[in-house]
A and B are shown apart, each in its own frame.
Chain A
Amino acid sequence: MNRTTRYIKAILLTGAVAAALVTCVAFAGPLGLPPVPVPADNPITPEKVKLGDKLFHDQRFSTTGEVSCSTCHDKDKGFTDQLPVSEGIRKLKGTRNAPTVINATYLETQFWDGREPSLESQSAQPFLNPVEMGLENHGPILKIVRTDPEYVDLFKKAFGKSGDQVTMVEVQQALATFQRTLIAGNSPFDRYYFGGDKKALSPAAVRGLEIFVGQGRCVSCHVIEQTQALFTDNRFHMIGVAAHQMPKDLDELSAAVEDVKKKGTDIAVLSNTKTSSLGRYAVTRDLTDIGAFKTSTLRNIDLTAPYMHDGSLKTLKEVVQFYNNGGRLKESDPLPDLLSGGIRPLNLTEEQEADLVEFMKALTSPEFARK
C-alpha cells in the first residue's frame, strides 16, 4: 500500500466518523492544503469512493463504449489527457483543455467558465455532450447501474438503494465522492514553505518563488496563504488567451449568445471556438467576464501540459513568456481590448523566466512525481 492510499484510507476513516457526528464535515488536508470541504448531504464513505472509482472508469457510459471520465482525466497524466483540447467519442474534439481533477474539490466552481457549483452537478454534463460521451440522455447509465450485478451490490452498500431508487443523484454523488479523495499537496514547495524544510527547493526554485510573489505578480491570482496554498483565487480573468477567436463586434457576440441560449452552455461552448471564447460571460452575461476563464490551480502543473483553456501554450516556458509580454506570446501580437487590468508586461529577464518555471516544477506532489 503506497502513501496515498494509506492517506486516503485515513481521511476516509476520519470523514466517516465525523460524518456520523455532524452534518457538514471537513477533514484535514495534506501539507499545504486546507481541510477538504464535504457537502452535508454527501458524506464520504469507503463504499461510495469505491463505487465512484468504478463509475469514473466505466466506458459503457458513452455511445461508443470507448470513453469514460478517465479518458480525459487519466491518472497517469496528472488526471488530464495532455492534449490541447479533449477528444471524446470517435475522436471528436471539443474546444477546451481538460483540467486536472486533482484538488478539484477545493474549487468554488467547476468547468473553465464555472458554470456548475459543485463536483456533483458538474459530473452530469459530459455524458450528454455530443463531443464527449455523446449520450442522448442519462437513461443508458441508469439502465446499467440498476442491472449490472456489481453495481447493484455497490449502490446497495453505498446508498442502501436498488432498482428505481438509484437515480442520477446517487451516480453523481458517488462520482463526486471519488473525486473528493483525489487531493494532493506535500510538494517540495509545501515542504519548504509550510514544512520548514529549507532544502526542499532548489536555489532556482527559491528565486522563482520570490518572483512568483513579487515582480511576477503571479500570486495575486494563484493564491498562496499563510497556512495553505490553493494557487487559485477562484475568480475569472480575461488574460488574453485565444483573443483572436473572440467575437469582434456586437453581431458576432449576439450570435454567440444565441448559440448558448439555444443549445445550453455546455454543448454550445464545446462545439464552437467562438462561443467557447466567451468564457465566463456565457454564464453571467456581464461585460467584465467576456473572455474570462477560471484561474487554474498550479499544483502538479508540470504534469498537465499543454496549458490554458484551449491548450494553446505548449510548455511552462511559453506560459511565462505569455505573461511576461502582458498577455501575448510575442510582443508583436495585438492586445485584446477587453484584457483584464491585472495583466500587464512584467519585464522579467530570461533567467527570471527560467526560475519561475523551476518553481512551478516544484509544485508536483510526490505521489504523482515522474519516476
Chain B
Amino acid sequence: MNLNRRTFIKTTGAALMATALPMSLVKVAFGSQSPSQDFTFGYISDAHIQLIKGTKFVRNWDMGLIRSVQEANLLTPRPDFFMFGGDLAQLGMKEELDHGLEIMSKLRGKVHYVIGEHDYYLDLGEYWQSKIGPLWYSFDHKGVHFVVLNSILTYDRWTHKKWESPMARMLAMARLDNPEGSPFMVGEQQLGWLKKDLGKVNQVTPVVVFSHSPIQKIYKGWNFWTEDAEKVQALLKPFKKVTVIYGHVHQIQYNQIGNITFQAVMATAWPWPYPQSYTQVASRLPKLTVPMNRADPFFERDATGWQFIDVRKGNVDMHYQLPDNKNRSVGFNTKTGYPQDAKHQVSGSRIPPQTHY
C-alpha cells in the first residue's frame, strides 16, 4: 500500500497534526454525527515503582511517573479521564503500591486502573483491591463502552503450586524467558463475565478494551501474549468498532486483526526492545511497522513516555508523549481500516532499527 503523508493526514483528520502541543490539543469536533463520542483521555502505564529499602525507592522509576503526571496535568483542554495501564509496583509490595498511588494522587482527574502482573502475584491482588478496586469491570463514557480486563491471570496449578513464599511466585512471574513461567490468560470466569457484559451492549456501540498484556500473541517468552486471546477476540467480533489498548510491552505497537484495532502504550519506567523472535522466527503479529529507536542511555527518560488519546466517532488516535525523543502519533485510518503512524508509516520515512548485540 502506497500511502503518502498527505493522503494519510487527509484521511485520518486533523487530530494527528496536533503533535502533542498541550496548549493546542485539538478539540475533537469534526462535525461528526455523533459529537458526543468525541473526547480525549490520558493513559499512563508501567511505572514499576520499586522499593529499595525503608523509604527509599528507585529514583529513575519515580521520576518517570512524576514527570508523566506533571505533563498530563498541563494538558488543555482537560482529558475526560485517565487510565493507568498496570504495573504500578515492581514486586507487588504495599509500600510500592502506596508510593505509586501517592504520586498518582497528584494527577488532576478521574483515574481508572488496570492491574499488571507486577501488582498481582505477591498477594494475588488483595491489597490492590482494598486500595483501588475490582480487577475487572466496565464503564460507559459518552457513548463508548469501556472494558477493563485482568489479563495477567494464569493456570491455577501454577499460581497455587507449593511456592517457597509469595515473593518467590512474584519473582518467577516477573522474570523474562523463565522456563518455569506460565502464560497470561483472562480465564473462564472472566470470559463468562465479559460475555454477559458485552451482551448488554449494542453492536454499533464503540468498544474499547483495556488490558495489561496484549490480547494477541506476540512473544510467549516475555508474556507479550495472552493464552486465551482468541476467545476474547471472538467475544469482540460482533462489534463494529473495537480497540484494545494494552501496556506491558513498554513500546509502541499497533495492529489490526479483523475488526479489532490493537494499540500498545509506553512505560514511564523503561523501554523493552522488540522481542528477538521478531527476526528469528516468523512473527505471528501481522504488522510491526516501526521499531522504536534505541534509547539514549544518558537520558533515562528516553524511550519511555505516556500518551493522550483522541476518541473520534469511536476510533482511537494515540498520541505518544516521548520525553527526550520525538513525539509520535498513531491514528486509525478510516479509509484503510488500519491504525497508522502519522509520520513513519511510509517505508521511506521509518526509523531504521538498530542491531541488538
Contacts and interface: CB of A to CB of B under 8 A. Distances in A.
Contacts of A254: 23, 76
Interface residues of A, number: 20
Contacts of B66: 337
A342 B76 CA distance: 27
A217 interface: yes
A342 B299 contact: yes
Contact of A286 (B63, B76, B327): B327
A102 interface: no
Given A285-B24, A341-B299, A342-B299, A253 B74 contact: yes
Contacts of A316: none
Contacts of B74: 249-250, 253, 287, 290
Contacts of B21: 285-286
A341 B24 contact: no
Contacts, number: 63
Given A287-B20, A287-B321, 18 more contacts: A217-B298, A253-B23, A285-B22, A287-B71, A288-B324, A288-B325, A290-B74, A335-B63, A337-B66, A337-B67, A338-B70, A338-B71, A340-B299, A341-B299, A341-B300, A341-B323, A342-B298, A342-B324
Interface string B293-336: 00000111110000000000000000001111101000000000
23 contacts: A217-B298, A249-B73, A250-B73, A250-B74, A250-B75, A253-B23, A253-B74, A254-B76, A285-B22, A288-B321, A288-B324, A288-B325, A335-B63, A337-B70, A338-B70, A339-B67, A341-B60, A341-B299, A341-B301, A341-B323, A341-B324, A342-B298, A342-B299
Interface in B63-103: 63, 66-67, 69-71, 73-76
A285 B302 contact: no
Given A220-B298, A250-B76, A287-B74, A340 B69 contact: no
Nearest to B59: A344
Interface size range of chain B in the complex: 20 to 34
B20 A286 contact: yes
Contacts of A287: 20, 22, 71, 74, 321, 323
Interface in A301-339: 335, 337-339
Interface of A: 217, 220, 249-250, 253-254, 257, 285-288, 290, 335, 337-342, 344
Contacts of B298: 217, 220, 342
Nearest 9 pairs between A and B by C-beta? Answer: A341-B301, A337-B70, A341-B300, A220-B298, A285-B21, A341-B299, A287-B71, A288-B323, A342-B299
B63 A341 contact: yes
A341 B70 contact: no
Contacts of A335: 63
Nearest to B76: A250
A358 B97 CA distance: 45
A18 B71 CA distance: 50
A290 B67 CA distance: 11
A342 B300 contact: yes
A338 B299 CA distance: 13
Contacts of A220: 298
Interface in B168-227: none
A334 to B, nearest CB: 11
Contacts of B59: 344
A337 B69 contact: yes
Nearest to B325: A288
B104 to A, nearest CB: 13
B301 A340 contact: yes
A349 B231 CA distance: 59
Interface string B36-70: 00000000000000000000000110010011011
B73 A341 contact: no
A294 to B, nearest CB: 15
Contacts of B20: 286-287
A285 B23 contact: yes
A282 to B, nearest CB: 11
A231 to B, nearest CB: 16
Q: Which of A220, A287, A335: most chain B Cβ within 10 A?
A: A287
A85 to B, nearest CB: 26
A288 B22 CA distance: 11
A290 B59 CA distance: 21
Nearest to A217: B298
Q: Max chain B CB contacts within 10 Å: which of A339, A341, A344?
A: A341
A89 to B, nearest CB: 33
A250 B322 CA distance: 20
Contacts of A285: 21-24
Contacts of B76: 250, 254
Contacts of B69: 337
A339 B23 contact: no
A341 B75 CA distance: 21
